[in-house]
Amino acid sequence: MKADNTIYLIGRIREKANNLIISELKQLGMREVVPSHGDILVTLFKYKELTMTKIANQIHRDRSTVTTLVNKLMKLGYVETKKNPEDSRSSLVYLTQKGKELESDFIRISNMIFEIEYKDINEEEKQVFRNVLKKIYDNLP
């Protein structure tokens, strides 16, 4: 049997990054926000308002997962929904003022993680690493 610990390492890297994000968010008093909420918030920072389906497509999650995450963010006061004027069957999700205020903290945390993850790694190594990860991703069904 051929085996290595590549997938294991990828999983542990994600776990460590998520723990770092959670720690940073807690220091900012956001104990209830978790990394999976970040995908939605960052998408809304960029696009301002989207349907649940478009958010799901952007973050590569199923719509039911996005609905659950958006409902939690609504309870926390970070997002709200309104009827979609282009399609009455759907709603648009958008950031509240409280949600918009998170953007600078998210940018800071994202930049910090980038600096940590690529410490002592040059541009050529970064590119090779990204290319190999993309190939592994494309190889898996």
Three-state DSSP at 49 gives: strand
Q: Is 48 helix (H, G, I), strand (E, B) or coil?
A: coil
When pLDDT is averaged across residues 26-30 and rounded to a whole number, the result is: 91
Tokens at 22, concatenated: 């959670």
CB burial readout 74-85, b (16+ within 10 A) else e? eeeebbbbeeee
The contacts found for 3-9 with CB under 8 angstroms, 24 or more apart, are 6/136
CATH architecture of 6-139: Orthogonal Bundle (1.10)
Q: Which residue has the tokens 């723990």?
A: 19
Instruction: Give the orientation angle of helix 52-59 with respect to helix 35-47, to 10 degrees.
Output: 110
The pLDDT-based confidence of 4 (bands split at 50, 70, 90) is confident
What number is the average pLDDT over the span 5-25?
A: 93
Alpha helices in 28-141 (DSSP H): 35-47, 52-59, 63-75, 97-100, 103-117, 123-139
Are the C-beta atoms of residues 9 and 101 closer than 8 Å to each other? no
The pLDDT score that the predictor gives to residue 1 is 65
The Cα 102–Cα 29 span in angstroms is: 11
Q: What is the pTM of this model?
A: 0.83
pLDDT in tens, 46-102: 999 999 999 999 999 999 999 999 999 999 999 999 999 998 888 999 999 999 999
Q: What is the pLDDT of residues 98-131, one digit of tens each?
A: 999 999 999 999 999 999 999 999 999 999 999 9
Higher local confidence (pLDDT), 96 or 5: 96
- Who's near 87: CB < 8 A, 6+ residues apart? 51
Domain ranges for the chain? 6-139
Over residues 17-45, mean pLDDT:
93
- Residue keyed to tokens 């590569």: 60
Tell me what the pLDDT averaged over the chain comes to: 94
